[in-house]
Amino acid sequence: MSRSSALARLAAAYAAHEVRRRSGRGGGRTTASAFETRYARDGLRPLTADERGGLPAMSGCINCGLCALVAGRPGGVRPADLATAYLRDYPLLAAAASDLGPGASMEAAAAACPVGVPLAEVSAAVRRLSG
Amino acid sequence: MSAPSNHDVIVIGGGVTGAGVARDLALRGVSVLLLEKGDWGAGTSGASSWMIHGGPRYLEFDWDTTRLSCEDAGHIVRIARHLVHRCVFLLPVLPGDRHGLERLETAMEVYDRFQPLKLAQPHARLDATQARLLEPGLAPDVLGVVTMEEWGVDPHRLVWANVLDAVRHGARAANHSRVTGLIRAAGAVIGVNYQAADGTRVEARARVVVNAAGPWVPEVAAMADAQVRLRPAKGIHLVYDRRLSNFAISGESIDGRDLLLVPHGPITVVGTTDDDFYGDLDDVGVAEDEVSYLLQGMARVFPAIRDHRPVRATAGVRPTLFAWRRYEDDLSRRFQVLDHGSGLVTIAGGKLSMYRLMAEQTADVACARLGVEARSSSSSRPLPGAEAELADPAELAREHHLPALAVARLQARHGGEAPDLLRESGARGRLVCRCEPLAEAELVHAARHEQVRTLADGFRRVGLAAGPCAGAACVERAAAILGRELDWSDSQRRQAVGEFLAGAWRGRAALLGQSGWAQEELAYGARRGWPTS
């Protein structure tokens, strides 16, 4: 198929699209929640506005380990692991939910963090996305 | 010089096409030797956008390429189901964009006709408010979004799965084995000379030699005094250490080219550039202005990208078929199988999402020369790991004292073969790296069974040092494990670490702003003497 033929077919499709739209027979709009439901099986859940805004700070862990000294390793997972390993691959978090033990004192861990990673928010985001 | 080995076919080039040719032939019962001068998938395949996509862009040029891409993408999704993941694209429209929402939706309506071929769903359309609920990082002036589905794949694992399947069906495959010349007799190509991984010089004979060397195709063809013309095009990608979004996002560069931000597993890939390339194919670097070009284009639709720092950049060269005068982006992604009539067959052009079809057609030509009548079965026979259903990661994790996240990551690479791998290695409960996270069992398996010979091979095969630490927390430990498996001396281990860190540095150099340089200096000081080579 030549380029002119491809463009002609696209033009015809565009004309048909416009006729449908102007006659009110165009495709409907999807909502974010319907879209989320459609891709829930693939683990493709959107970040919330708060998570989006906080993600740069939540990504700043330097893995020094101070947080683990303060908060321990609930369920074998260090607070730093939540930031460096878990808050990366969101679609896999459901499969890894069994790693997440009872909540530790993330506020205390965050207070010990020398680079200001908001570990309580990290923990909340990981738990929401794994649910 | 060792005694020559004899084969029906020798395939030169261990990218996805060469590996696919070897597999296709081996499945037909043909004896194959596959040679790769570096590591599997270390060239163009590994530097791709990690997409098995149907090519909606080609709807403006050539619907046949779109149809062929979608058909073959469907085959790949079926035979490599554990390696692929659904990528849902948001295609935002901003004021002044080349295509408004209606034109864009029209294109997706047309593309929907092809989507079932690759097991993908039709498009959707969202207004600006709903679009920003899905991705709050989109530009505030976005007018709306049309969506599109594609498939992502780890190209390194896809290449290795093809190599492994070829080997399981009788092929021999050797990485770090550079072809130094073709053996010719009475004008015919009858074999190759190559330098094996251990430095020995080896002669191998075959009735057909397949040149599947990607951008190096002209170089190999010239060894037989044949000419193949390509128009090599360089493409770079930026890699982030996490998913910046759960959705892929399309953008537009300042010169109107399509750009993509695509989450793959735990990373995000942003690309790509497309520039004529005239340099050394073995030394393709990344320039700071290329990085700025990509960031500028993506930040227009997704300003949040400026809040994150890429951890590395990749560069590769596409083996595009030659054409004069056209703008790089307008070049066809079609491929050609060239029978030089001398026992040499070349496969040139194409793209990752059509690799299996390219391999099948190349194998058809080789089989015609050999008189082999067996037909290709590579579109229906599952790749290793795709046969069995995945085990419950939490259960496997309990059994092997590993985090379920590490097991789930391992399953994404090995599919249904994960339980056997974990049982075999004996490295129970240990992680090489916490941030990736990589089980020691997987690295041991890679050294024993996946031809991992360097730390960089480990990066490609099992994601070694691919996480936020970029090796700082794990490369020494990984070197100790590989050294134990591969019988490295202390100096070999130190050299391996130095080479890996120097290579990682080359991937980061173009990305460092002022603060990045300070961190590099700190790391340099902490390592006392790095880089050593």
Chain B residues close to A84, C-beta within 8 Å: 434-435, 467-469
pLDDT tens digits, B476-506:
999 999 999 999 999 999 999 999 998 888 8
Cβ atoms of B453 and B500 closer than 8 Å: no
Contact between B59 and A6 using a beta-carbon 8 Å cutoff: yes
Q: Is the preceding peptide bond at B362 cis, omega within 30 degrees of 0?
A: no
Q: Is B88 an interface residue toward A (CB < 8 Å)?
A: yes
Q: Does B389 touch chain A (CB under 8 A)?
A: no
Q: Which of A44, A87, A95 sits opposite B393 (nearest CB)?
A: A95
pLDDT for the residue B524 = 66
pTM: 0.95
Q: Choose the mutation target among A38, A89, A122, A127 for the interface with B, i.e. most B CBs under 10 Å.
A: A89
Which of B61, B397, B405 lies nearest to residue A92, judging by beta carbons? B405
Residues of A whose CB is below 8 A from B59: 6, 10
- Measured between beta carbons, the chain B residues lying within 8 angstroms of A32 are 126, 130-131, 133-134
Residues in chain B within 8 Å Cβ distance of A92: 265-266, 405, 408-409, 412
Per-residue pLDDT of chain B (533 residues; tens, 9 = 90+): 667 899 999 999 999 999 999 999 999 999 999 999 999 999 999 999 999 988 788 888 888 888 988 999 999 999 999 999 999 999 999 998 888 999 999 999 999 999 999 999 999 999 999 999 999 999 999 999 999 999 999 999 999 999 999 999 999 999 999 999 999 999 999 999 999 999 999 999 999 999 999 999 999 999 999 999 999 999 999 999 999 999 999 999 999 899 999 999 999 999 999 899 999 999 999 999 999 999 999 999 999 999 999 999 999 999 999 988 777 666 767 899 999 999 999 999 998 999 999 999 999 999 999 999 999 999 999 999 999 999 999 999 999 999 999 999 999 999 999 999 999 877 778 999 989 999 999 999 999 999 999 999 999 999 999 999 888 889 999 999 999 999 999 999 999 999 999 888 888 888 887 567 777 776 666 665 555 54
Q: Do B405 and A89 touch (CB under 8 A)?
A: yes
CA distance A63 to chain B (A): 8
Cβ within 8 Å, pair B247-A44: yes
Instruction: Output the CA angle B153-B157-B162, nearest 5 degrees.
Output: 105
pLDDT for B525 equals 67
Task: Compute the radius of gyration of chain B from its Cα atoms.
Answer: 23
Chain A residues within an 8 Å CB radius of B265: 89, 92
Give the SS3 label for residue B434: coil
CB pair distance less than 8 Å for B136 and A13 = no
Instruction: Check if B126 contacts A (Cβ < 8 Å).
Output: yes
Residue among B125, B304, B409 whose CB faces A27 most closely = B125
Averaged pLDDT of chain A: 90
Instruction: Mark yes or no for CB contact A77/B403 under 8 Å.
Output: yes
Which one, of B18, B258, B288, B32, lies nearest residue B159 by Cα? B18
Local structure of A61: helix, strand or coil: coil
What are the chain A neighbours of B109 within 8 Å (beta carbons)? Answer: 13, 17, 27
Q: Where are the alpha helices (DSSP H) in B371-403?
A: 393-400
Enumerate residues 329 to 368 of chain B having a beta carbon within 8 A of any beta carbon in chain A: none
Confidence (pLDDT) at A103: 65
Which of B88, B393, B435 has the CB atom closest to A84's CB atom?
A: B435
pLDDT (0 to 100) of residue B515: 63
| Beta pairing class for B178-185 and B312-318 | unpaired
Q: Give yes or no for a contact between B465 and B455, defined as CB atoms under 8 angstroms apart.
A: yes
The C-alpha atoms of residue B437 and residue B96 are separated, in whole angstroms, by 44
Taking the CA of residue B281 and the nearest CA in chain A, the distance in Å comes to 32
Q: B85 — contact with chain A (CB < 8 Å)?
A: yes
Give me the pLDDT at residue A3, please. Answer: 82
| Residues B315 and B508: beta-carbon distance below 8 Å | no
| B174-B179-B183-B188 Cα dihedral, nearest 10 degrees | 90
Q: Which B residues in the span 279-318 are in contact with A, Cβ-Cβ below 8 Å?
A: 304, 307-308
Which residues in B239-256 are b (16+ Cβ under 10 Å) and which e? bbbbbbbbbbbbbbbeee
Residue closest to A61 by CA, chosen among B397, B391, B241? B241
